[in-house]
A and B are shown apart, each in its own frame.
Chain A
Amino acid sequence: MKKIKCAIIGPGNIGTDLIYKLKRSPVLEPVWMVGIDPTSEGLVRARDMGLKTTSEGVDGLLPHVLADEVQIAFDATSAYVHKSNSDKLNALGVLMVDLTPAAIGGLCVPPVNLETHAKAQAMNVNMISCAGQATIPMVNAVSRIQSVSYAEIIATVSSKSIGPGTRANLDEFTYTTSNAVCAVGGARTGKALVIINPADPPMIMRNTIYCLTDEEPDQERIRASVLEMVKEVQKYVPGYRLVNGPVFDGKKVATFMEVAGLGDYLPTYAGNLDIMTAAAARTAEMFATEILAGRYQLKPVKEAA
C-alpha cells in the first residue's frame, strides 16, 4: 500500500520518538529529519534509523520536498520558529502537524475534534501539549454531559522526559494548554499546571483533571462518559489509565489518570512523550487516509504578508 511521506523537524525527544511511531504506521513513512546542529545526537540517531537528514534547518529540506514527495511535516522545535517553518512548507503544499505550543493552526485532540479538522482540510493543526493531550479528553468527557464552568488540569511529568526546549519556555506550554482546556475541552474557563518531578527511578506521567459543573453532576452519566473516553484514547495510547475517580464533591468532579508510554525512545514512564507523538501520528494518519482516498488535495498556501 502507498504511504504518505513525512518529514520531522527537531531531532529531540519528541522528534525521535515520532520516528518510531511513524515507522509502525500503515499509511505514513518518515523520510527526512531536520536539525540545526550537525553534531547533534538526534540527527545521528535519525540517520541510523534510515532517514535522510539536514543540519541546515527547514531551508535544508525545502529543495527536496517535491523530489522526495514530502506531503506532511511534523514540527517538534519551538513556538518561536514554528510560524516561519510552517509558512515555508505550506507554500510547497506540505501539511503541517505542529507539536510546539505555537498554536497558529487549529487545536487538535484526536478523540474530541480530529474529524472536524480533517473535514475542514486544514493545512496546519496544532497538538497543544502533552498535558493537553492527556487531560482534555477528560474535560470533554464531562462537558459533553453537562456544562463545565471551570476546568483545571495538573500534569506531573518525570524530569528525565522533559527536554530543554520545554523547560526554557514553560509559560508558552501553560498558556497554550489553558487555552485548549476551554477551546477544545469545552470548559468556560480553564487553568493548566505543570510539575516536573525528578524522582529516580522516574515516576510515570500523572494527570489530575478537576471540573466544576454548573449544576449538580449527573454521576452515573459522567462516570460512563469518562470510561468511554478512556477507551477512545487507549486506541492510540494503550497505557492511558484511570487510577482513581471520577470522585464527586459537590459540583467538583476529580479524575486521576496515569499515562504509560510504549517505551520506544524513552522508557515507559515517559507517557507524556507517547501521548504527544501518538496523537500527532494519529492526526497525520487521518489526513493521510483522506489524501490517499483522493478526498483531500494538498494545495500550496501563499505566504501571508
Chain B
Amino acid sequence: MSELKNVKGRKVLVHDMALRDGMHAKREQISTDQMIKVATALDDAGVPLIQVAHGGGLGGNSLQHGFAMHSNEEYWDAVIPKMKQAKVSVLLIPGLGTMKELQSAYDHGVRSVHVATHCTEADTSPQHIAYARKLGMDTTGFLMMAHLNDPKGLATQGKLMESYGAQTIYITDSAGYMLPSDVVARVRALREVLNPETEIGFHGHHNLGMGIANSIAAIEEGASRIDASVGGLGAGAGNTPLEVFVAVCDRMGIETNCDLFKLMDLTQDIIFPMMDHIVRVDRSSLTLGFAGVYSTFLLHADRAGKKYGLPTRDILVELGRKKMIGGQEDMIEDTALTMAKERGLLKA
C-alpha cells in the first residue's frame, strides 16, 4: 500500500450535488418544497455551495433529458432567498445550455457555475466560461467522463479552460469508473500545468464504491474542491455520499466546516424518504462503473429495456461499446430498437 500523505489541516470546499445530479435519480421530479427543505438543511449544516437545477443543468428541460416539475428559475427563486450562508450554483453544458440561460441564472441569484464539456472537447466552452467570469461568477471548467482521456491529455484540456478564465478545473468521473490511482495521475498532471492559483476539483460517482476513496486520493494530490451529494442522491449509484465524505474528512483532519450530525439527520430523515428507488450499487449501476458508461443513462436504459424486452445491462454494455457520451440519451432508445430488431423482438 502506498504511503498516506499528510492531509491534516487541509481545507476542502464541498459542493453538494443532490439538487442537480440528484434530479436524475428522481426523473427530474423534485418539488420546490422538497428543494427548500433539502437546501435549507444543507445551508444550516454549513455546506458552502449547493447546485440547484434540472439534472442536465441550464437548458436541460427537454424530451431528451425529461421535463422537471418546475423551471430552473422557479427552483432558484424558491431556494436562493432562504440561504443564510450557502451560495447556489448551476451546471452549463455547451450545446445544451446557452449564455442567455446563464444570464438568467445570474439574474436569479446563482453565483457559481460548472461549465461542462466532454473531457476532450474543452474548446466548446470559451464563450460560456468568459461570460460567467464577466458576470463575476465563481467559474469551474468541468471535464466530464474524465476516464476517457489520459492524464496528459486531460491536463491540456484543463489548461485550455484555464486560459478561457476558469478558476477551478474539475476531474469529473461521470461513469464512476476511476480508481484512486487514475485520480492521482490526473490531479498530478493538472497540477503540473495549471497556474498555482487555479484550484482542482473532483466529482465522483459511486458506481464502483470508490467515491470517497477517489475524493481523498484527489485531496492528497492537491485537489481543494470536492463534489458530493447528501445521501448520495445522484445519477447511477449516486455521487460521493456527502455525509460519509465529511465523516472521513473529520477522522483525517481535513477541514470541511460541515456539521456531520446535521448531514446524517438530513440524509436519514429527508433524503432517504425522497428516493423512488434505493440509490446504491446494484446490477445496473455497477455495470455503468464497470463498463465506463455515463451514469445518467441508467434510468433511461431501464425504461428502454422494459419497453423493448431487453435486459438493462445489455443495453448499457452496448452503449459503452459504441462509445456514447453524456448527452446522447436519444441513442439509448435507438440502440434498444436496433438490438430488439437483431434479436427478433421487433420486426425490422
User: Is B98 a contact partner of A174 (Cβ separation < 8 A)?
Assistant: yes
Residue B328 contacts which of A164, A170, A197, A244 (CB distance < 8 angstroms)? Answer: A197
Shortest CB–CB separation between residue A154 and chain B, in angstroms?
5
Contacts of B59 in A (CB 8 A): 191, 193
Known: A167-B124, A199-B323, A247-B333. A154 touches B94 (CB 8 A): no
Q: How far is the CA of A126 from the CA of B338 in the complex (A)?
A: 35
Shortest CB–CB separation between residue A214 and chain B, in angstroms?
16
| Chain B residues near A (Cβ < 8 Å) | 59, 62-64, 94-96, 98-100, 118, 120-121, 123-124, 126-128, 148, 322-325, 327-328, 330-331, 333-334, 337-338
Contacts of A168 in B (CB 8 A): 123-124, 126-127
Q: Which residue of A lies closest to B334 (CB)?
A: A256
Shortest CB–CB separation between residue B255 and chain A, in angstroms?
38
A92 in the interface (beta carbon within 8 A): no
User: Is A164 a contact partner of B98 (Cβ separation < 8 A)?
Assistant: no
Q: Is the interface of A mostly helix, strand, loop or mixed?
A: strand
Q: How far is the CA of A21 from the CA of B65 in the complex (A)?
A: 37
Known: A154-B330, A196-B118, A198-B120. A170 touches B127 (CB 8 A): yes
User: Is B123 a contact partner of A152 (Cβ separation < 8 A)?
Assistant: no
User: Is A195 a contact partner of B334 (Cβ separation < 8 A)?
Assistant: no
Q: How far is the CA of A156 from the CA of B50 in the complex (A)?
A: 31
List CB contacts (< 8 Å) of A185-226 with chain B.
191, 193-199, 203, 206, 208, 210, 212
User: Is B324 a contact partner of A197 (Cβ separation < 8 A)?
Assistant: yes
Q: How far is the CA of A197 from the CA of B269 in the complex (A)?
A: 41
User: Is A196 a contact partner of B121 (Cβ separation < 8 A)?
Assistant: yes
Contacts of A256 in B (CB 8 A): 330, 333-334, 337
Contacts of B100 in A (CB 8 A): 171
Contacts of B96 in A (CB 8 A): 193
Residue A174 contacts which of B64, B95, B330, B333 (CB distance < 8 angstroms)? Answer: B95
| Chain A residues near B (Cβ < 8 Å) | 150, 152, 154, 156, 159, 164, 167-171, 174-175, 191, 193-199, 203, 206, 208, 210, 212, 243-245, 247, 252, 254, 256
Known: A174-B98, A208-B330. A198 touches B121 (CB 8 A): yes
Q: Which residue of A lies closest to B330 (CB)?
A: A208
- Could you list 17 A-B pairs, sorted by A, with CB under 8 Å? A152-B63, A171-B98, A191-B62, A193-B59, A194-B95, A195-B325, A195-B328, A196-B118, A197-B323, A203-B322, A243-B334, A244-B333, A244-B337, A247-B337, A252-B63, A256-B334, A256-B337
Contacts of B123 in A (CB 8 A): 164, 167-168
Contacts of B94 in A (CB 8 A): 170-171
Known: A244-B338, A247-B337. A196 touches B330 (CB 8 A): no
User: Is B63 a contact partner of A195 (Cβ separation < 8 A)?
Assistant: no
Contacts of A156 in B (CB 8 A): 327-328, 331
Known: A208-B334, A254-B333, A256-B337. A197 touches B325 (CB 8 A): yes
Q: Which residue of A lies closest to B131 (CB)?
A: A171
Residue B118 contacts which of A154, A175, A198 (CB distance < 8 angstroms)? Answer: A198
Shortest CB–CB separation between residue A213 and chain B, in angstroms?
13
User: Is B98 a contact partner of A210 (Cβ separation < 8 A)?
Assistant: no
Q: Which residue of B lies closest to A254 (CB)?
A: B333
Contacts of A203 in B (CB 8 A): 322-323
Q: How far is the CA of A212 from the CA of B64 in the complex (A)?
A: 13
Output the residue of A154, A159, A208 with the most chain B CB within 10 A: A154
Contacts of B328 in A (CB 8 A): 154, 156, 195, 197
Contacts of A198 in B (CB 8 A): 118, 120-121, 148, 325
Q: How far is the CA of A169 from the CA of B325 in the complex (A)?
A: 21
Contacts of A167 in B (CB 8 A): 121, 123-124
Shortest CB–CB separation between residue A151 and chain B, in angstroms?
9
Output the residue of B63, B121, B322, B333 with the most chain A CB within 10 A: B63
